[in-house]
Structure 1
Amino acid sequence: MLKYRLLSPRWRKVLADLWGNKLRTLLVVLSISVGVFAVGMVYSSYLMFERDLDLSWKSAAPASASLYADPFDEELVDSIRSLRGVKEAEGRRNVDLRVRTAAGEWRQMYLTAIPDYSEQKVNIIKSQTGAWPPGDGDVLLERSSLAELGVAQGGSIQVETADGHKRNLKITGVVYDPSQLPSLFSGRSYGYINMDTLEKLDVERQLDQVNFVVEPWVLSGKETAPIEAVGRRAWSKLEQGNTTVFWLQVNKPGEHPLQSVINALVMLLTVLGVLSLLLGTFLLVNTVSAILTQQVRQIGIMKAIGARRDQILRMYLFLVGVYGVLALIVAAPLGALAASAVTGFMAQVFNFNSGGLELPPKVLLLEATAAIVVPVLAAIWPIWHNTGVTVREAVSDHGIGSVIGKSRLDKWIDKLLARINLLSRPVLLSLRNTFRRKWRLALTLLTLTVAGTVFMAVFSIRASLYSTLDDALDYFRYDVSVGFTQNYRATRIEHEILKIPGVRAAESWGFTSGRILRNERKESEDEASKNVFILAPPVSTKMIQPKIIEGRWLLAEDESALVVNTETLKDNPQLTVGSMAVIKIGNRKLRFTVVGIAKSTLTGPIVYAPYPWFTGAIQEAGGARSVQIVAQSTNPRDQIDLGRKIEEHLKKNNLRIQNVDITWEQKQRIRSQFDILIVFLLIMAVLLAFVGALGLMGTMGINVLERTREIGIMRAIGASSMAIAKVFIVEALCIGVLSWLLGVILALPIAALLSYQVGVMFLQSPLEFSFSFLGVGIWLVLSALLAVVASLLPARKAAKLSVREVLGYE
C-alpha cells in the first residue's frame, strides 16, 4: 500500500483504470493476445518446420532423381554410376502387391528390396526398432504404415503376390524412410525386404528402380534442369540395356518433395495470423477511443490542475503498453505450445521428425513487437485526437448530448425509423443506438466483417477444392482400374472380366511411357522431355471423358494421331494442334500429328493415341496392359468388394496384376489431403471470429457505461430489466447482421482470389471456383449467436443498474 501511495497520481490512475474495470482489461488483453498468439504460432511453426523437415530430409542423403523401369540387372546400375556428373547410384526392386490389414481389409502395399542394407548411400533407410537388416522372409515396416495396417512389431502381415499366392511375412522391425511420401498421401503402405525374399513373392531377383545423386558441380541453385539432363542420359543407358523406362522423378536440390505444399500452407496461415493481429489492434483502438470518450471530464480536470497534453498522451500510451505486456505474458507460452502441437501433427502427416517445443528469440521479439509496439503506435492518433479537448468542453460534457446525431445520415435514419410502426419502442431505440457512435461502429463492423469474410471464403475454398476434384475425377467414367505387369490379349482380359458378377462393362487399353523428342535426330534425345504416359484407349471409349480445349478427339480412321493434355505442354510448349510430335518408346521413335489438346485432370503428363494403330506400332497388336471396369452398383463398398473379386479371379487365371485402383478410394484419399488444409484455415477463421466477438462485447460494454444515465431515465419511467437488456441485445444483433451483409458482399471476390491462389500454390493450376452458400448460412447463424453471447454480459450489467446508481453516475 505504501509503494502504491508513493506513485505519482497519473500512474495511480493507470493502475486504477486497469484494476477498476477488470472486464474491459480482460477483453483488451484477450483481443491483443489472439493476434500475438496467431502470429507467434505461425512463425514458430514455420521455423520448426524449416528446421525439422530439412534435418530429416538431408539425413537420408536424398536422391537427385529416380528412374523407374521394367526389371533389369545390377550391371545397368554400374553403367549409370559411371556417367559423367553422377556421384552415386543405387538400385532397388519394388513389388506392388496387396496386404491384409488387421481389420481384414486388403490394401495396396509397396515392398522394397535393397541389395545391401549396410552400404546404403542414397535414400538411406534408418532402423528405429527391431532387427536390422531384414532376414529371409521378414519385413521391416515404414513407421507411417503401422497405423494404416493396424499391426505392430513382432506380428506378421499376409500379402498376396501378382500370381495370387498368399505369403506371411514376419514383422521384425520398424524403419524410417525420410524420402518416402507418407502413407496418408500415397494411400499405400511400405515395407522393406532383402533380395532373397523376392523369390517367395514370385518376383525375379532383379532391380526396377535407380536412385542417383549428381556431383555438386552439376547443380545450379534450386534449378532442376541440370539434374534432368543427367537423368535423360541415365534413361538412355537403361534403354540401351533393352529396358523400358516408365518414369523419371527429379527432386528439387535440398528440398523435401512436400516442401512447397508446407510453405504454401504456412503462407496462408501467416496471412490469417496477420489479419488476427490487425483486428486485435482495431479492437484496441476502438476501446481506447471509448475510454477517452468516457473520461472526457477526467481529462478536463487533469488539464485544469496543470497537466500538459504530452503528459496525458504518455499516460494513456503507458496504459496501452501494459495491456500489451499482459497480452504477451498470456500469448507467448500459448503460442509456443500450439506451435509444438502443430509441428508434431504435421510431422505425423508429412513423416518427418519433430524437434519438440522451442521458443526462439526471434519469435519472442516478433511477439513483443506485435503485443507492445504495434498497439502503442496504433493508439497514438486516437489518444492525441481525444486529448485535444479544452477544459471548458471537457467539464461541460454530459454524455447524451455529445452523441446526438446531426449528420444527414442520422436525420435519414431518424426519418426511416419514424415510419416503422410495427416495431416496439425498445427495438426502435436499439436500431437508433446502433448508429450513434459511427467511428466505434465502423471499427466493430470492420472486425466482424473481416472475420466473416474469411470464414465464408474458407468455406468457398473448400467447395472449390471439392468442385475441382469432382470435375477432375469426372474424367474417370470407370469404377475400377487394373494394371498388368505385362501385355495380354485384350479379348482374353475382357472375357475373364465379364464373367465376374457385378461387372457392367470392361474396356482394355494399351499403355506405356516414353519421351517426347524435339526431332528425330540422335542429339535430340539428350533434350527430350522427362516422360509422358501414353494411353491407347478405343477411340469410341466411354470410360473417360477428356475435356478438349483445342482441336478434336481421336477418330476411328486416325492412325498416327495424338491428343496431348495441358500437363504435357508444360514440358513441351512446342506442341500445338497440327504440329509433329516424335515420341521415343524404348528403342523406337514414333511420329505423331497432334490433333487435339485436352485439359489435365490431376493425372500428370498424358498423351492419347488410337488403340489399333498404336498397339501395332509398338508390336503389341491386340494386346493391353490395363483394363477399366464399370460396376453395376454405385455403392462404394460394393465397388471395393468388386475390385477384390476381380483381382482374385484374374490371378487364378494366370494374369499377373500390377495394381488394382478403386476410383472412389482415390477420390477419398485426395479429399482427405485437402481436408488438412481446410482444417487449418478453419482454425484461423475461428480465431478471427473470436476476435470479432471480443470486439463486439467490448463495444457493448462501453455502450452500457456511456448510456448509464439513459438507463436511469428508462428505469424511472418504468422500463423493466428485460426491456433494458433487450435494447442492448437487439443492438448487438443489428451489428452482427450488418457485418454479415457486408461480409457476403466482400466474400465473393475474396473467395475467388483465394481459391485462385490456393489452386496455383497447391495444384499448380487455378481451382474451379464454387461459392459456398453453406458458408454464408453458417456464418449468418454464427454471427447472430456471437452477437447474442457478446451482448449478454453487458446487457445483464445494464439490467441490474438501479435508479439510485445511475443518478449518482458521473
Structure 2
Amino acid sequence: MDSRAWLSPRWRKVWADLWGNKLRTVLVVLSISVGVFAVGMVYSSSLMFERDLANSWASASPASASIYADPFDEELVQSVRSLRGVQEAEGRRNVDLRVRAAGGEWRQMLLTAIPDYNRQKVNVLRAQSGAWPPGDGDVLLERSSLADLGVSQGGEIVVETPKGRKRSLKVTGVVYDPSQIPSLFSGRSYGYISMNTLEKLDEPRRLDQVSFVVKPAVLKGKDTAPIETVGRQAWNKLEQGNTTVFWLQVYKPGEHPMQPAINAMILLLAVLGVLSLLLGTFLLVNTVSSILAQQMRQIGIMKAIGAQRDQILQMYLVLVGAYGVLSLIVAAPLGALAASAVTSFVAGVFNFNSGGLELPPRVLLLEASVALLVPLVAAIWPVWRGTGVTVREAVSDYGISDLQAKGWVDRWLDRILTKLKKLSRPVLLSLRNTFRRKGRLALTLLTLTTAGTVFMAVFSVRASLYSTLDQALDYFRYDVSIGFVENYRASRIEQEVMRVPGVKAAEAWGFTSGRVLRDERKESEEEASKNVFILAPPADTKMIKPSLVDGRWLVKEDESALVVNTEVVKDNPQLKVGSPAVVKVGTRKLRFTVVGIAQSTLTGPLVYAPYDWLTGAVQEAGRARSVQVIANSADPKEQTALGRSLEEHMKKNSLRVSNVDVTWELKQRSRFQFDILITFLLIMAVLLAVVGALGLMGAMGINVLERTREIGIMRAIGASSLDIAKVFVVEALCIGIVSWLAGVILALPVAALLSYQVGVLFLQSPLAFTFSFWGVGIWLALSTFLSVLASLMPARNAARLSVRDVLSYE
C-alpha cells in the first residue's frame, strides 16, 4: 500500500512536486539556502567575534593606557600607581632588536622583560606550554610569532644586541599576550625574558613602559577622556623624573584594540549577506514562476473539477514552505560551520582565542524566519497571478501565446534584427527571445547585474586601497630608516652611513615627542591635549614629499615655524595657518607659528619643525636620533640587505640602533592587511555571482518549458539538436552581456560609495578612489562563463526533446 495514501489528493500533489522533480527541488532549495546561509553566517560570526574578543581581552586584565618613554626606574611606576584614579600600574622593559629566523634571514623582534611574572595585574601574560616564568638566558615566545620565526619550544633563537653582539636564547615556553598587535600585522616577533637576561643583551635593568588601569568609578562608559586625563598626569610624573616621554596609548574601555577593524568587516559582510538574501528572493520568484508555467494545465484541470483559487493558492504556498524548511535544514548547519571557520581564521589573524562552533538560538530563529517568511512573501505575487488564470486560458496554454510585439521596445528590436541578415536564424531567434518575457528578464538581469556590480565594486575598492597606500607611501622618498636608542652627532651618523656600500644619500633628523597644548596657561597641561611625534628634518629635505593642503613647507630661514598634519588638526582644530601653537616637550613649552598643514600619510599625528631651531630649543644642537637613507638600487631585496648592512655597521661603531625600517617592507605589510579585507569581500562577491548564475539557470529552464511546442515546430521543420541548443546558449549569453553592461554603469557610483565607506571605517578618511578596469574585464569573462554554464542544462534538455515528446506535452 502506498505510504502516502492517507494524504488528501492536493497534499499528494505537493509531495509529488517535491519528490518527482528532484532537480527543480534542489534548485529552489539552493536559491533559498544561499540567502539563509549568508545571513546566518554573518550574524553568527558577529556574535562569535563579540564573545571571543571580549573573553580574550578581559582575560588579560587590559590596561586603560600605556606610556612609553626613555628608560626609568621602578620608583616612577610607584608614583604613577599613587595617582588619584589609578587602580593598578606596572612597568616593563622593551628591547627592539633583530632575530635570525629559521630560514637564516634577520627580522625585527620585540623582547619584553617583566619584573615579576607571577604577580602580573595589568596586561597579563598567559602561559600556553613549557616553562614559567622564563629563566636567565631563556625566552618565552608569543604564540603568533612561532610560525613567523619557524622555531618551536625547546629550540634556540639568535638575537643581535644594540651593540652588535650575537646572543643565543633558549625557547623554553609559549605564551599568549592579548595586548600585542599580532605578528602578522606588526611585522615583528614577540618574546618575553627575565630582567636578568637584559644584562646579557647589553641593556640596563630599567623600565621604559608603564601601563595602568583606572578605577571603575573614574570611567564614563566607553569615553576615553577620563583615561586621557589620568594619562596626562602620569606623563607629567615621568617628566618630573627627568624622563623623556614618547607616547601615550589610550584604549577604549572594554574594547579589544582590533575591535573597530573587525566591526567594520562584519558591517561590510552584513551588507553583502543582505544582498545575497535579496538575490535569492529574486531567484525564488523566477523558480516559482517556472513551476506555475509548467503546471498551467494542471491548474486548469484542478479548477475544472471544482478547486477554488484559495485552495490552489494554499497548496502552492505550502509547497514553498516545504522548500523553506528543506533550505533551513541545509543552510543552518552550513552557516554555523562557515561562521566557525571564519571566526577561527580571523582569530588566527588577529590573535585571539576562538570559542569554537556554536549555533545560538537567536541565530537559528533568524534563519528560520528568513527561510520560511521571506520565500512565502516573495512567492505570493507569482502564485496569486498564476492561480488566477481561467480554465480556458490554462488548458489552451501553448507557451507561445500572447507574445506578439506590442511595445516600443519590441518594435525597436524588430527593426534592428531585420538589419542583421547575416546572422544565422538560431542566433536571430535567440536575440528576439531574450526580450520576450520582460518581467522575467528584469528579475534575471537584476540578479546578475547586482552580482556584477558588487564584484566590480570590490575590485575598485581593492584598487582604491592600493592607490591610497601608494599615495601615502609616496611621502617616503627614502628606502631605509634607522632609529637610535639615544641622540648622536648628526655629522657622525651621516658620515658612518655613507661608508656603507650601496648608500646614495643620507639625512640625519632630530626626533622627539610632545603634547600640543591649547595655550601657555599652566592649566592647559591638565586639559585635553594629544601627544604628537615631532620630526626635525633639514628644511630642504629630499627624503619626504609632504602633500600640503594649506600653507607652505619649511624653509631655511624658519626658526619657530611648524608644519602640522591633518591628523593633528583633527585633534586640535584651533591650529590654522598663521596661528600660534604651544607644544610641551619634556618640561619645556615650545612656542611655534603654524606655517603649513600637510595631509596625513597613515603615519599618525606628526608635526615638522626646523632642525637647527628645534635641536637648539631642546638643548640637543647638532644631534639626531634617526637617519633616512636612499639606496643606489631600486631592487627590494638589495634594499633589505642594505638595511641589514647599515645596522651592523652602526652597531660596530658604537651607535646603538633601536629599529631599522625598510620602506618596501612597510608597503608590503600594509598591502597584506588590506588583502584580508579584500578576500572577505571577494568571497561574498563570488557567492553573489553563484546566486546570479542559479537565477539565470532557472530563467532558462522556464524558457524551455514555455517553448516546448515552439521547439517541436523547429524540430518538425528540420532544426538539429545543435541549432536548438544554440538558441538557448546564445540567449543566456545575451542576458549575461546585457547584465555586464548594466553592472559597469552601476559599478562606478557603487564603487565610489563603497570606497568612501571602507576608507572611513578602516582608515578614518576616504580612500583615493580608483576605478578598476581589471575588475570590469574579469567580470566580463566570468559572466560569460557563468552564462554559458547556466544555459548548458536547459539547452541540453531542449535539444533532447523530440516531436513525439512535444505532441504529448501537457
TM range (shorter): over 0.9
**Residue 20 (structure 1) aligns with:** 20
**Deviates most, 14-23 or 742-751:** 14-23
Equivalent pair of 1:515/1:528 in contact (CA under 8 Å): no
- Structure 1 residue 238 and structure 2 residue 238: aligned? yes
State whether structure 2 residue 172 is matched by structure 1 residue 172.
yes
Q: What residue number does 2:448 align with?
A: 448
SS in 1 for 2:659: strand
Q: Distance in 2 between matches of 1:32 and 1:379?
A: 12
> For the residues of structure 2 that align with 1:515 and 1:20, how far apart are their CA atoms?
76
Q: Secondary structure at the match of 1:624?
A: strand
CA distance in 2, matches of 1:123, 1:483: 27
Q: Give the structure 1 partner of residue 643 of structure 2.
A: 643
Q: What is the letter of the counterpart of residue 79 of structure 2?
A: S
1:132 maps to amino acid: W
- Matched with 2:717 is 717
What is aligned with 2:655? 655
Residue 306 of structure 1 and its aligned partner are, at CA, apart by: 1.6
Query: What is the TM-score with the length of structure 2 in the denominator?
Result: 0.99
Asked if 1 retains the 8 angstrom alpha-carbon contact of 2:290 and 2:698, the reply is no
Please tell me the residue identity of whatever aligns with 2:371: A
Counterpart position of 1:372 = 372
- Tell me if the contact between 2:399 and 2:705 (Cα under 8 Å) persists in the aligned partners: no
Gaps of 5+ in 1: none
**Is residue 85 of structure 2 the alignment partner of residue 85 of structure 1?**
yes
Deviations 1:276-321 (A, max 9, x none): 1110111101111232233222222222222111111111111111
1:465-504 equivalences in 2 (<5 Å): 465-504=465-504
Matches within 5 A, 1:154-193: 154-193=154-193
What corresponds to 2:778 in structure 1?
A: 778
Cα contact 1:565–1:597 (8 A) shared by 2: yes
User: What is the distance in 1 between the residues matched to 2:60 and 2:401?
Assistant: 73
Q: Report matched runs for 1:382-781 at 5 Å.
A: 382-781=382-781
TM-fit CA distance, 1:427: 0.2
**Superimposed CA distance per residue, residues 498-535 of structure 1 (whole angstroms, 9 cap, x where no aligned partner):** 11111111011000000011111211101152310000
Structure 1, 228-237 or 284-293: larger mean CA deviation: 284-293
Please tell me whether the aligned partners of residues 546 and 598 of structure 2 are also in contact (alpha carbons under 8 angstroms).
yes
Contact 2:29 2:324 in 1 (8 A): yes
Asked if residue 219 in structure 1 is aligned to residue 233 in structure 2, the reply is no
Contact map agreement 2:293 2:702 (CA 8 A) in 1? no
Q: Which moved more, 1:309-318 or 1:465-474?
A: 309-318
What letter matches 1:214 in structure 2? V
Letter in 2 for 1:374: V
Q: What is residue 6 of structure 1 aligned with on the other side?
A: 6
Amino acid at match of 2:475: Y
Indicate the residue corresponding to 1:791 in structure 2. Answer: 791
Residue 195 of structure 2: SS of its match in structure 1? Answer: coil
Give 2:499's aligned amino acid: K
SS of residue paired to 2:4: helix
**Match of 1:225, as an amino acid?**
A
Q: Is the 2:399–2:708 Cα contact (8 Å) retained in structure 1?
A: no
Aligned pairs (5 A) from 1:133-144: 133-144=133-144
Report if the CA contact (8 A) 1:516-1:528 is conserved. Answer: no
Per-residue deviation, residues 68-125 of structure 1 (Å, max 9, x unmatched): 0000000000000010000000000000000000010111111000001111000000
CA distance in 1, matches of 2:61, 2:98: 29
The superposition leaves residues 179-221 of structure 1 with CA deviations (integer Å, 9 ceiling, x where unpaired) of: 1111011111000011111100111110000000000011011
SS in 1 for 2:488: strand
Counterpart AA for 1:769? F
| 2:162 maps to amino acid | A
Percent identical among aligned pairs is 78
> What is the alpha-carbon distance in structure 2 between the residues aligned to residue 305 and residue 437 of structure 1?
31
- The answer (yes or no) to whether the contact 1:484–1:656 under 8 Å persists in 2 is yes
Q: Secondary structure at the match of 1:661?
A: strand
The yes-or-no answer on 1:73 pairing with 2:100 is no
| Correspondence for 1:207 | 207
Once the two structures are TM-superposed, the CA of residue 352 in structure 1 deviates from its matched residue by 0.7
**Contact 2:290–2:701 (8 Å) recurs in 1:** no
Letter in 1 for 2:381: W
Alignment partners' CA distance in 1, 2:69 and 2:803: 88
Q: For residue 605 of structure 1, report the CA deviation from its aligned partner.
A: 0.2
Give the conservation status (yes or no) of the 8 Å contact 1:232–1:530. Answer: no
- For 2:279 and 2:511, the matched residues in 1 are separated by 55
Number of residue-to-residue matches in the alignment: 810
Q: Following TM superposition, by how much is the alpha carbon of 1:372 offset from its aligned partner in structure 2, in angstroms?
A: 1.2
Q: Are 1:130 and 2:130 matched, yes or no?
A: yes
| Match in the other structure for 1:348 | 348
How far apart in 2 are the matches of 1:103 and 1:229?
Answer: 47
Q: Structure 1: how far apart are the matches of 2:410 and 2:807?
A: 28
Instruction: Tell which deviates more after alignment, 395-404 or 66-75.
Output: 395-404
Unpaired runs of 5+ residues, structure 2, are: none
The residue type paired with residue 438 of structure 2 is K
Q: How far apart, CA to CA, are the structure 1 residues paired with 2:763 and 2:196?
A: 41
For 1:501 and 1:333, locate their aligned partners in 2 and report how far apart those are by CA, in whole Å: 61
Question: Structure 1: how far apart are the matches of 2:465 and 2:555?
Answer: 33
User: Who is 1:195 aligned against?
Assistant: 195
How far apart, CA to CA, are the structure 1 residues paired with 2:722 and 2:180?
64
SS at match of 1:35: helix
Match in the other structure for 1:114: 114
Measured on the aligned residues, the alpha-carbon RMSD in Å equals 0.9
Name the TM-score, length of structure 1 as normaliser: 0.99
C-alpha distance in 2 between matches for 1:262 and 1:76: 36
In the aligned structure 2, how far is the partner of 1:450 from the partner of 1:555? 53
Distance 2:499 2:195 in 1: 37
**Secondary structure in 1 matching 2:5:** helix
1:558-599 Cα deviation digits (max 9, x unpaired): 100000000011211111111110111111111000000000
Q: What one-letter code is carried by the residue in structure 2 that aligns with 1:735?
A: I
- Matched to 1:608, the amino acid is Y
Q: In the aligned structure 2, how far is the partner of 1:309 from the partner of 1:807?
A: 29
Q: Aligned equivalents of 2:384 and 2:762: distance in 1?
A: 46
Q: Which AA in structure 1 matches 2:630?
A: V
> C-alpha separation between the residues in 1 aligned to 2:278 and 2:439?
17
Displacement after TM superposition at 1:415 (Å): 1.8
Q: Which amino acid aligns with 2:569?
A: L
Please tell me whether residue 321 in structure 1 is matched to residue 321 in structure 2: yes
Tell me, in whole angstroms, the C-alpha distance in 1 between the residues paired with 2:659 and 2:676.
Answer: 27
* In structure 2, C-alpha distance between the alignment counterparts of 1:22 and 1:707, rounded to whole Å: 21
In the TM superposition, residue 49 of structure 1 has moved relative to its aligned partner by: 0.7
Q: Is the 8 A contact 1:452 1:740 kept in 2?
A: yes
The answer (yes or no) to whether the contact 2:228–2:528 under 8 Å persists in 1 is: no
- Offset of 1:386 from its aligned partner? 2.2
Distance in 1 (CA, whole Å) between partners of 2:697 and 2:393 is: 29
